[in-house]
Amino acid sequence: MIEVTMRQMLEAGVHFGHQTRYWNPKMASFIYGSRHKIHIINLEETLPRFREALKFLSDIAANKGRVLFVGTKHAAREAVREEAIRCGMPYVNHRWLGGMLTNYKTIRQSIKRLKELEELLQDEKITSRLTKKEVLRLVGEKDKLSTLIEGVKNMGGLPDALFIIDVGNEKIAVKEAQRLSIPIVGIVDTNNNPDGIDFPIPGNDDALRAIRFYCKTLADAIIEARGVLDLAPAKVEEPQAKTKVKVKKVVKKKLEDGLSEDSGEEGEAELEVVAAPKASKAAAKKKAVGNKKPKDKEESESVKEKTAKNRTVRSAHASDEDE
């Protein structure tokens, strides 16, 4: 489980709220006080809620569920996109299309059209037959669809949970998720209403550093839950056998004039020589056969000598019988 501390939240500026005149009274229980007319959020309330939300989303990711990152405000776009891609989750970082959840059938048709356009524009045989105006029209249509639904192109269905930066700015997404009973994890600032949010996290939803902290921590938790960071054990190479060989070392003495010459002193030094790898069976067999050749040759010569000797004995016996 990813460890989150209060110091990390303080460094990210999570405790800074909005100006006191813009506050929502329903956030009173999460406010520590005010300083220079700016509300200070009580991190003792934020920390346990954030940990609870991380555990909930980690369980969804561990069960191969989908968490939709939502952050269409300018400060959140880049962080939402980068961290969602890093953990392999869908995201919406531009305008939320009405019906993206409640009318997903239409969104699916738009996704299909986007994929068709991408394949069409990659085929040079087809684009070469079209006029320049037609190609530009197709490129414009593809770019528009890509801007709106690029993040949900591979979502494959409704998400299992939503993670929203600034629930006040994403009211349509909140309403659609509530209608479909999709759990919502949302960052709630002092000017927003926490009602209807399943896992409200009181915190700063405007500072870029705070937004990146939320997204990065959540992405790390999802990656850990999915086990993506678990690397396969590396192959351990067997240590090669080393043999010690004694060699004679000639000691050199430097002369005063800068020249050097060998002296008669001799010493012994030990060098570590890496043993050659074992030869294959075929090579070993070939070598064994090669070593046997001289022996076979000797045996054949001895047989020849015995045969010649027997012949001489037989010829001697034959001559005796003739006499």
Look at the pTM and tell me if it is higher than 0.85: no
Strands 38-41 and 16-19, by their bridges, are antiparallel
Provide the pLDDT for residue 269.
Answer: 42
- The tokens for 62 are 């561990």
CATH of 6-101+158-226, one of 3.40.190.10, 3.90.400.10, 3.30.70.20, 3.40.50.10490: 3.40.50.10490
pLDDT of residue 182: 96
pLDDT for 306 equals 55
Tell me what pLDDT residue 311 has.
58
Rounded Cα distance between 211 and 270, Å, is 62
**pLDDT tens, position by position, for the chain (323 residues)?**
788 999 999 999 999 999 999 999 999 999 999 999 999 999 999 999 999 999 999 999 999 999 999 999 999 999 999 999 999 999 999 999 999 999 999 999 999 999 999 998 888 888 888 888 999 999 999 999 999 999 999 898 999 999 999 999 999 999 999 999 999 999 999 999 999 999 999 999 999 999 999 999 999 999 999 885 443 333 333 444 443 434 344 334 443 444 444 444 444 444 444 444 444 445 544 444 455 444 444 545 555 565 565 555 455 554 554 44
pLDDT of residue 236: 36
pLDDT for res 166: 92
